[in-house]
Amino acid sequence: MSYLKPPAGILSSEISSQAIRATELIEWAEHPDGCGIVQLYDAYFRATEKRKF
């Protein structure tokens, strides 16, 4: 999350399930005010240190 910095209130609390929080993050990324799916994808690879194909 620190790479993307979604606005406060976009994601449920940390006690919510990961599935709910992941869905909220994707929905925010796809929204016109969001970061975009490409940036979300890039943040995933930075966070997991995986290589892009």
- The 10s digit of each residue's pLDDT in 3-53 is 788 999 999 999 999 999 999 999 999 999 999 999 999 998 888 887 665
Q: Global pTM?
A: 0.79
Question: What contacts 28, CB < 8 A, 6 or more positions away?
Answer: 6, 10, 11, 34, 35
Predicted pLDDT of residue 2: 67
Predicted pLDDT of residue 18: 93
Using the predicted structure, report yes or no on whether residue 1 has a pLDDT greater than 70: no
Query: Residue 11, class by beta-carbon neighbours within 10 Å (0-12 exposed, 13-18 middle, 19+ buried)?
Result: middle
The residue ranges of every structural domain in the chain are: 1-53
